[in-house]
Amino acid sequence: MKRSAAPFFALALGITWTLQLPAVLAKHGVIAGPAERFLPLMGLGALGPMLAAIILSAREGGRAEVRALFRPLAQYDVKARWYAVALLLPGSLLVLALATYTLVTGRSAGPWLYPPIEPERIAAMVMFPLGEEIGWRGYAQPRLLERRGALATSGIIGVFWGLWHVMMFDVSGVSPGAMLESLPMFLAGSVLFSWLWARTGGSLLLAVLLHVGTHLNNSARALPANPVPATAHTIAYVLFALALIALDRRTFGGHTER
């Protein structure tokens, strides 16, 4: 029987947005106190996709289904090059994009590297990938693939992945326009995740490491002061995703009924 991912998306967004709403309300003066007072709840909200996946897995099949959800995290027996791709490709796309921007325009784009130096960013680099990918790629991806092809699956996850970030972006001072402009990044990034997930036999571990790679050199850290790195990074992601769709027909060659 084909399984639906719709309850997951509703629950994941519901958990995250509920926990992060107080910080948004404080930022806009609806409730008293600085938004920073609610940062612990913001952090817990990052676990929304994982919590939703655990709750729904337990409802579907009890402890056995929860164990099955986490089992791909131990799927480490893949070729070494995929570990390098996961950890280095996202940041390399940013460096390449900014180098191209500087060469073409003759203007500085600011720093090319945005590593996680502060303790809270290092903690986020560990917590966010686990909290998100156990849901996005561990739970939603295989269920969507039962009904759709890899490209449609990437698009659906990409849209909800972008929506999931709305409150975090708002608290960080990202404008609504910049949030909308970030959607192509999430859509293209989701194609990249689908590609790596397929090429590593559904390894959730590699999906988590790819997400870690996005934090190793994160262009979003330049926002809202300098939009150039995020814009250039988005263009690089989109071009890379289009190349994957065009060239990797084994992964994106259409929907095969399962």
pTM score: 0.94
CA 146, distance to chain mean position in Å, is: 21
CA 231, distance to chain mean position in Å, is: 17
Residue owning tokens 């998100």: 132
Q: Residue range 35-56: average pLDDT?
A: 95
Q: Does residue 88 carry a pLDDT above 90?
A: yes
Residue 194: per-residue pLDDT? 97
Q: Residue range 232-249: average pLDDT?
A: 97
Q: Residue range 239-253: average pLDDT?
A: 96
Neighbours of 213 (CB within 10 A): 25
Q: Does residue 17 carry a pLDDT above 90?
A: yes
Taking a C-beta distance cutoff of 8 angstroms, is the pair 135, 12 a contact?
yes
Measured CA distances, 219 to 92, 130, 200, 230 (Å) = 11, 20, 26, 5
Q: Residue range 213-238: average pLDDT?
A: 95
